[in-house]
Amino acid sequence: MASAKVLRQLIRAGSGGDIAAFKAASKSIIEEERQKQHHLLANDLEQILYGESKPVTSSTLARLLPNLPTDKERGLPLLDIRQTQRSLEELVLSKVALAAIEDVLEEHRRADILRTYGLQPSSKILFFGPPGCGKTMAAEIIAYELDLPLAIVRIDTLVSSYLGETAANLRKVFDFIEQNAVVALFDEFDALGKERADNSEHGELRRVVNAVLQMMDAYRGKSLLIAATNHEQILDSAVWRRFDDTLEFPLPAAELLPQVLQLKLRGVRRQFEVDAPELAKMFKGLSPADIERIVRRAIKHMILRNQEFLSMKDLSQAQEREMRSAH
């Protein structure tokens, strides 16, 4: 937050109509936020102060964050920096899961208060559950709500064929997220944290898991680290203990389906209600990502045939085609 001195200058200049002083105080606030690595907020404030400007792109964010780590073998970036636009209203989860995410957000928004009591906000969280149930979306939303860039760890680049290079790449990633405030998403985390007792795996994987454990133990950085996996059952038992919180993303319960459909059908004229029993039967056991693909296919069909309303038949046909294409 801006210092009391700068805030006084800002309000005094604004109330007195001193444009030059107002801009000077505003620039001080923007610079202060940029020094705190609140790049998205700083750019938003600049746009408000100076008028229209180009949107902040992923490449711009990458330039704002210095020295993106690369792998030695191919020189490729180990992180993909993104600006996210998804807000909390787009997340459909159980009350328990939603409350857990809101708790994480509050801890980070009020981190200064926690630190006065010798406490730290949760910095390492594990998301687990079936694919398509919102793990990556939740990470995007957390980044947006905390006004931080989302740094997605590129597992395909991180894992090297050279002995010892994977651990070296991991060290580069951890060094970066310790020094720069981001939401760091380790998607497909099971590639790094697989059970060491699995006799089918070679020694290099065990060394990687050991490196992950050591780095997570030592991590005291500025970033929020989120690991996500669809295969929690193969994670090493010691990995679980390294996280401050774990959160399951199951397939949506029947009572959440109308909320999912309401979100996916937003702005679409339709001939049915989202709580129709036929829809509950049609989408039973499907993930939100599956439902979104079916809905998108049905909407395309409606548009291309110049229909004014989306029908239950459109959804049914789209569901059948989606199921056939999945096999």
pLDDT confidence of residue 83: 84
Q: Is the alpha carbon torsion for 249, 252, 255, 257 positive or negative?
A: positive
Question: Are the C-beta atoms of residues 274 and 265 closer than 8 Å to each other?
Answer: yes
- What the block records as the tokens of 206 is 């065990």
Domains of the chain (ranges; CATH) run: 4-54 (no CATH), 66-248 (3.40.50.300), 254-326 (1.10.8.60)
Q: What confidence tier does 54 reach under pLDDT thresholds 50, 70, 90?
A: very low
pLDDT confidence of residue 53: 43
Contacts 24+ apart (CB under 8 A), 164-171: 164/207, 165/71, 165/72, 165/73, 166/204, 166/208, 166/211, 167/207, 167/208, 167/211, 168/72, 169/69, 169/71, 169/72, 169/78, 170/208, 170/211, 170/212, 170/215, 171/211, 171/215
* pLDDT tens by residue, 84-132: 888 888 889 988 999 999 999 999 999 999 999 999 999 999 999 999 9
Q: Which of 197, 195, 191 is nearest to 227 (CA)?
A: 191
Tell me which residue has tokens 């999945």: 326
Counted residue by residue, the chain has a size of: 327
pLDDT confidence of residue 98: 92
Least confident of 44-48, 168-172, 303-307: 44-48
How many C-beta atoms lie closer than 10 Å to residue 79's C-beta?
26
pLDDT confidence of residue 65: 61
pLDDT confidence of residue 205: 78
Distance between terminal CA atoms of the chain? 53
Which amino acid is located at 249 in the chain? F
* pLDDT tens by residue, 211-263: 999 999 999 988 999 999 999 999 999 999 999 999 999 998 889 999 999 99
User: Count of alpha carbons within 13 Å of 163, Cβ hemisphere only?
Assistant: 2
Q: How far apart are CA 28 and CA 23, in angstroms?
A: 9
> Residue 218, Cα to own-chain centre: how many angstroms?
23
